[in-house]
Amino acid sequence: MKNVIRKEQVLNHPIDTIWNAITIQEEISTWFINADFKAEVGYKYTFTAPKEQNCPQITGEVKKADPYTLIYTWIVANTNVETVVKWELEKTETGTKLYLEHSGIANYSGDTAVSMFTSFNSGWDNCILGLLEYLKNTVHAR
Amino acid sequence: MQDRITKILKAIADPTRREIFHALVVAATALPITQISGQFDISRQGVTKHLKNLEDAGLVKINTKGRERFCYANTNPLKEINQWLKFYEQFWGDTLDSLSNYLDKNK
């Protein structure tokens, strides 16, 4: 059964612009989520949603940060579920191809899966959708 | 008590059980245990054990008709796992849209 989410997107921007957007704390905080982040192997980062969303934090450790591959673990607060997020950039003739991969559900061992889905039921998905709405509005308001 | 999702994940963690389950999904009809075990290189007891495990996870239903037991697949429990995938599909899709918007604004 499928256990990886893969996304591909062609972006009409230089590779370094995108690399900065996904690795520099201030930029991540602008378009994605409020971040305490350094693109250094071993750095333990924290992503915090806006307070009014009352969302769990996301934490993890940077596993790889060589241009143009960024890998970090992804742990939702109050769960022990560790999944892995990988960003890869590739130069194309007109811009950059971005590959995003989120893997790990197959690695869940019993109890962690339980808490994962329990946190789901208490509305974690609404919470993130709300956050995305917020981010969209913020981006559009710029 | 073991959680249902734990059971589902454990049930599909085994490659033989995945094959048995897959065979039942493809068959799209109830199959007698004898016929299922005929398709695999393991003993009937072994197949029965795997089927029992799948039944516990809710992935297989077993009905007894006369002397034969018929099994059919129930894919509903996988929907819960699919929820995770769907959720993050949407999440990352929207995230990439955000990134794209951000980059365009700063061009």
- What is the phi/psi pair of residue A109, to 5°? -95, 165
Using a CB–CB cut-off of 8 Å, the residues of B that contact A are: 2-3, 5-6, 9-10, 12-13, 18, 78, 80-81, 83-85, 87-103, 105-107
Residue A108: which pLDDT band, with cuts at 50, 70 and 90? low
User: Number of folded domains in chain A?
Assistant: 1
Contact A49, A29 (CB under 8 A): no
Within this chain, do residues B41 and B88 fall inside the same structural domain, yes or no? Answer: no
3-state helix/strand/coil string of chain A: CCCEEEEEEEECCCHHHHHHHHHCHHHHHHHCCEEECCCCCCCEEEEECCHHHCCCCEEEEEEEEECCEEEEEEEECCCCCEEEEEEEEEECCCCEEEEEEEECHHHCCHHHHHHHHHHHHHHHHHHHHHHHHHHHHHHHHC
Within this chain, do residues B49 and B11 fall inside the same structural domain, yes or no? Answer: yes
Q: Determine the distance in angstroms separating the CA of A70 from the nearest CA of chain B, rounded to an integer.
A: 15
Q: What pLDDT, in 10s, does the model give residues B22-55?
A: 889 888 889 999 999 998 888 999 999 999 999 9
Contact B36, B30 (CB under 8 A): no
Identify which of B6, B10, B100 has the shortest CB distance to residue A9: B100
Residue B73: which pLDDT band, with cuts at 50, 70 and 90? very high
Residue A6: which pLDDT band, with cuts at 50, 70 and 90? confident
Q: Which helix (H) or strand (E) holds B28?
A: none
Distances (CA, A) of A102 to A8, A106, B77: 12, 11, 22
**B105 contacts A100? CB cut-off 8 A:** no
pLDDT of residue A107: 54
Range of the domain at A32: 4-141
ipTM rounded to 2 decimals:
0.70
Residues pairing with A103 in the sheet: A4, A84
Range of the domain at B81: 76-107
pLDDT of residue B95: 86
* CATH at residue A89: 3.30.530.20
Residue B89: which pLDDT band, with cuts at 50, 70 and 90? confident
Q: What pLDDT, in 10s, does the model give residues A62-99?
A: 999 999 999 999 887 766 668 899 999 999 998 899 99
pLDDT of residue A99: 93
User: Number of folded domains in chain B?
Assistant: 2
**Mutate which of A2, A3, A13 to disrupt the B interface (most B C-beta within 10 Å)?**
A13
- Percent of chain B at pLDDT exceeding 70: 89
Closest alpha carbon within chain B to A103: B85
